[in-house]
Amino acid sequence: GCGQQESRERAASHAPEAEVSQPAKQPVDPAAGKKSLVVYFSQSGNTEAVARAIGEQTGAELWALRPQKPYTDDYDALLEVASSEQQNGARPAIATPLPDLDSYDVIYVGYPIWWGDMPMILYTFFEDGDFSGKTVVPFCTSGGSGLSGTVETIEQLAAGADVKQGLHVGSAAAADATGAVNSWLSELDLYR
Ligand SMILES: Cc1cc2nc3c(=O)[nH]c(=O)nc-3n(C[C@H](O)[C@H](O)[C@H](O)COP(=O)(O)O)c2cc1C
């Protein structure tokens, strides 16, 4: 605060060897006051691996989005379930209550690409929360598709949020995503 700076200046001007007394520059703490949360849905662990890499790099807390009704482990059956949820515009219920988003400024949101889009539970998530004034940072994993227009969808769903450039990681690279995560994060330059 001001008092501290004044006493530092006084100390400097009273120091016998001080020649020119300059006001002390306040150091800038890059992450000051910005709390981050990583929210992710991951059915088979790939997106979760990327979420962990983001958590390790940023110190953000992790929160897994889980459906009240768990999805089948049978891949072919899941393809069908996901497809019909998408066609029906389903809003699968979330198992545990959302964390209080008010406490966070930066919210990373991670998901696999399912049939060229986010799984429908992400729609539930975005429609349930108030994202105005937040920084929302999307990331996804997929077999071959990239972000598939999901960043634009999130811009529409998260009204009033500053939605950043998303990160896509191929499924096969998800377990070793630290390098990709780090260069993406430094490009985003969020903590200033
Ligand atoms: C229902 C379903 C639909 C999928 N659709 C796509 C797709 O459209 N494009 C793609 O590249 N990968 C698709 N995949 C592959 C997943 O995106 C990929 O395996 C992802 O890394 C899974 O993430 P997770 O382990 O976090 O659940 C699909 C997978 C499932 C289960």
Q: Is beta strand 61-64 parallel, antiparallel or unpaired with respect to 135-142?
A: unpaired
Q: Where are the alpha helices (DSSP H) in 31-116?
A: 46-58, 75-87
Residue with tokens 């699968």: 92
**What is the dihedral sign for C-alpha 56, 57, 63, 67?**
negative
Q: What is the pLDDT of residues 71-87, one digit of tens each?
A: 999 999 999 999 999 99
Q: Which of 114, 117, 140, 169 to mutate to test the pocket of ligand 1 (most atoms within 8 A of CB)?
A: 114
- Nearest ligand 1 atom to the CA of 47 is 26
Compute the distance between CA of residue 96 and CA of residue 8 in angstroms, rounded to an integer.
50
Interval between CA 112 and ligand 1 midpoint (Å)? 5
pLDDT tens readout for residues 21-61:
544 444 444 455 679 999 999 999 999 999 999 999 999 99
pLDDT tens digits for 136-185? 999 999 999 999 999 999 999 999 999 999 999 999 999 999 999 999 99
Nearest CA to ligand 1 atom 7: 115
Q: Is the ipTM of this complex over 0.95?
A: yes
